C-alpha cells in the first residue's frame, strides 16, 4: 500500500516539475514582455499545485496525520499572483502602449492607466 | 440584532479568519480554534472603517460550482499553454488584446473576475477602462479574440453575476 501511495505522490511531483519547467522555459522562448507575463501564472497554478497535493497526500498516507495548511499557500497565491501580474501589465501599458495601440475602451473612451493625469514628464530609462 | 451587527461587522470574515488561523496552526485543537475566534472577532472590529460595504453572496451552490469550474479550467488551460510554449513556433503565435465589456458592477465581483482571468493560464487581465465598464485582457495565443471574450462572459461573468448581483 505504501508503494502505491509513493507512486501517486511521485506522479504529482513530476507533474509540478514539468509545469514549473515549462513556465520557466516560456520566459526564455516568448519574445514580447506581455507574453512573458503568462509564464509565471502557469508556474503558480499546476506547478505549485502539484507539490501541494503531493505534500497533503504524503502526510496523510505515509505519516498518518492530516495536514491542510498547504491549502493556505494556494489561497495566498491566488490572492497575490493576480495583483503582481496586474502591476507589471499596468507598467507595460503605461510605458509602452498608447491609446491607439490598445483595443477601443468602449463607452469610457480610455483605459484607466491612460486616463491618469500626468503632472510631470517621466524620464524614459528604457531607451537604449 | 443591532448590537450583534456592531460586535460582528463582518460575520463571513470572522469565520474565514478563524479557519485560516486553525489551518496555519495545522492542528485542529481547542486552543487554536479559540485563539482563531478571538482574532476573527478583533480584526474585523478594528478594520471596520476600511470595509464600509458588505458584499452579499446570494447563491452558495453557485460559489461551489464556480470554484470547481475555475479549477477545471486551470488544469485544461495549463496543458493548452504548455503545448503552445513547447511546440508552437514563436512566429505562428498570435498574441492579442481582448476587450471584455462588463455587465458586473460590484467592485468585489470585478476583482474576482479579473483574478480568475489572470490565474487561468493563457489570459492575463491588464486594465480596466476609466469608468470600470470594460476589462482589458491579454491572450497568449488567440486567433479569434471574439471567441475568448464570449467564453469569459459565458463561463465566468454569468456565474459571478448570479453570485454577487
> B152 and B71, same structural domain?
yes
What residue numbers bound the domain in which A52 lies?
2-99
Please indicate, yes or no, whether residues B68 and B100 belong to a single structural domain of this protein: yes
B 72-111: CB under 8 A from A? 74-75, 78, 81-82, 85-86, 90, 93, 95, 97-99, 101
Banded model confidence at residue B4, pLDDT cuts 50, 70, 90: confident
- Give the pLDDT score at B68: 93
Taking the Cβ of residue B70 and every Cβ of chain A, the question of whether any pair is shorter than 8 Å is answered with no
| B24 and B74 share one domain | no
The answer to whether the Cβ–Cβ distance between B85 and A78 falls below 8 Å is no
| Cα B154 to Cα B150: distance, rounded to the nearest angstrom | 6
Work out whether the CA dihedral B110, B115, B120, B122 comes out positive or negative.
positive
pLDDT digits (tens, 9 = 90+) for B144-153: 888 888 888 8
Say if B76 falls within a structural domain: yes
Question: Which pLDDT tens digit goes with each residue over B41-70?
Answer: 898 888 888 877 777 777 888 889 999 999
Tens-place pLDDT, residues B81-129: 888 888 888 788 888 888 888 888 888 889 899 999 988 878 888 888 8
Contact B128, B110 (CB under 8 A): yes
**In contact, B64 and B159? CB cutoff 8 Å:** no
Q: Are both B126 and B67 inside the same structural domain?
A: yes
| Same-domain check for residues B45 and B64 | no
> Which residues span the domain enclosing B7?
3-50
Q: Note whether B24 and B46 are same-domain residues.
A: yes
B127 and B74 within one domain = yes
- Residue B78 covered by a domain: yes
Element (H, E) at B101: strand B96-101
Q: What is the pLDDT of residue B121?
A: 79
* Span B12-23, pLDDT tens digits: 888 889 999 988
Q: Note whether B88 and B153 are same-domain residues.
A: yes
Domain count, chain B: 2
pLDDT in tens, B85-98: 888 887 888 888 88
Q: Is residue A57 part of a domain?
A: yes
pLDDT tens per residue across span A23-75: 888 888 888 888 888 877 777 788 888 999 999 999 888 888 888 888 888 88
Write down the pLDDT at residue B55.
73
ipTM: 0.81
Amino acid at each position: 500500500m505504501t508503494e502505491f501511495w509513493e507512486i501517486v505522490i511521485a506522479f504529482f511531483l513530476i507533474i509540478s516539475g514539468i509545469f514549473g519547467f515549462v513556465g520557466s522555459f516560456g520566459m526564455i522562448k516568448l519574445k514580447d514582455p506581455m507574453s512573458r507575463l503568462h509564464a509565471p501564472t502557469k508556474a503558480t497554478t499546476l506547478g505549485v499545485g502539484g507539490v501541494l497535493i503531493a505534500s497533503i497526500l504524503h502526510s496523510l498516507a505515509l505519516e498518518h496525520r492530516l495536514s491542510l495548511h498547504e491549502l493556505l499557500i494556494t489561497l495566498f497565491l491566488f490572492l497575490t499572483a493576480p495583483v503582481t501580474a496586474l502591476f507589471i501589465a499596468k507598467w507595460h501599458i503605461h510605458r509602452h502602449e498608447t491609446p491607439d495601440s490598445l483595443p477601443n475602451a468602449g463607452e469610457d473612451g480610455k483605459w484607466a492607466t491612460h486616463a491618469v493625469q500626468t503632472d510631470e514628464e517621466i524620464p524614459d530609462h528604457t531607451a537604449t | 440584532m443591532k448590537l450583534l451587527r456592531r460586535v460582528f461587522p463582518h460575520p463571513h470574515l470572522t469565520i474565514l479568519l478563524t479557519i485560516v488561523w486553525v489551518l496555519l496552526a495545522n492542528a485542529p485543537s481547542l486552543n487554536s480554534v479559540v485563539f482563531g475566534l478571538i482574532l476573527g472577532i478583533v480584526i474585523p472590529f478594528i478594520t471596520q472603517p476600511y470595509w464600509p460595504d458588505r458584499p452579499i453572496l446570494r447563491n452558495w451552490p453557485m460559489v461551489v460550482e464556480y470554484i470547481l469550474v475555475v479549477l477545471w479550467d486551470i488544469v485544461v488551460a495549463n496543458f493548452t499553454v504548455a503545448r503552445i510554449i513547447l511546440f508552437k513556433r514563436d512566429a505562428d503565435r498570435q498574441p492579442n488584446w481582448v476587450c471584455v465589456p462588463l455587465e458586473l458592477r460590484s467592485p468585489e465581483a470585478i476583482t474576482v473576475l479579473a483574478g480568475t482571468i489572470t490565474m487561468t493560464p493563457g489570459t492575463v487581465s491588464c486594465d480596466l477602462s476609466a469608468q470600470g465598464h470594460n476589462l482589458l485582457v491579454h491572450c497568449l495565443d488567440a486567433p479569434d479574440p471574439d471567441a475568448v471574450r464570449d467564453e469569459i462572459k459565458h463561463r465566468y461573468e454569468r456565474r459571478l453575476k448570479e453570485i454577487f448581483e
